[in-house]
Amino acid sequence: MKRIHDERLIVRNLKNIRIAFSIENIVIILILLWQSYLHKNWSGVFSLDNPLFAVLMIGAFILIVLSVNISSPTEDKPKASIKLITIRFVIELIVLSFVFYILLKGSHFLVSLIAGTVIALVLLEIDLYANHFRE
């Protein structure tokens, strides 16, 4: 098998992969909507217990993380300082924990704090990863 050296063919191959990924995600979303229509149970279909929904979420998260190293260098932003990143993390932690506290109707403070911390940590890692590619 020969390696592709023509840039036009490489770009075309990447476009084909993007189209295939898009069609795959559309089909998964349609199947999830069909399952929710048949079962009338949105929480059962759109949960990580359903393998199709888990595959859709994993694919979406991978796409987001992989696009960071393409979009960050093209943004003409300077590197953020550690102090600014820490302030963003604390603000995200407070806001997200408060949102989860409201969603849980004020009954589970520790659970809302843990959920807010997990999401804030994921956002922190994405921010640090994007900051790595900036000049």
Q: What is the pLDDT of residue 89?
A: 93
64 and 89 inside one domain: no
42 and 60 inside one domain: yes
More confident residue, 96 or 49: 96
Domain boundary among 47, 74, 101: 74
81 and 22 inside one domain: no
59 and 26 inside one domain: yes
pLDDT band, residue 72 (cuts 50/70/90): low
Q: What is the pLDDT of residues 93-107, one digit of tens each?
A: 999 999 888 888 888
25 and 87 inside one domain: no
Question: In this structure, what is the dihedral angle of CA atoms 44, 18, 20, 16, given to the nearest 10 degrees?
Answer: 180
How far apart CA 113 and CA 28 sit, in angstroms, is 32
- pTM, whole model, 2 decimals? 0.51
How far apart CA 101 and CA 113 sit, in angstroms, is 8
Q: What is the pLDDT of residue 70?
A: 61
17 and 31 inside one domain: yes
126 and 94 inside one domain: yes
Joined together, the tokens standing for residue 39 give: 């079962």
38 and 59 inside one domain: yes
82 and 112 inside one domain: yes
pLDDT band, residue 21 (cuts 50/70/90): confident
Q: What is the pLDDT of residue 19?
A: 84
65 and 96 inside one domain: no
Domain boundary among 74, 90, 107: 74
Nearest to 4 by CA among 20, 21, 22, 17: 17
Give yes or no for residue 56 having a pLDDT over 70. yes
Most confident residue range from 17-21, 58-62, 111-115, 130-134: 111-115
Domain that holds residue 38: 1-74
Number of domains the chain contains: 2
81 and 126 inside one domain: yes
pLDDT band, residue 52 (cuts 50/70/90): confident
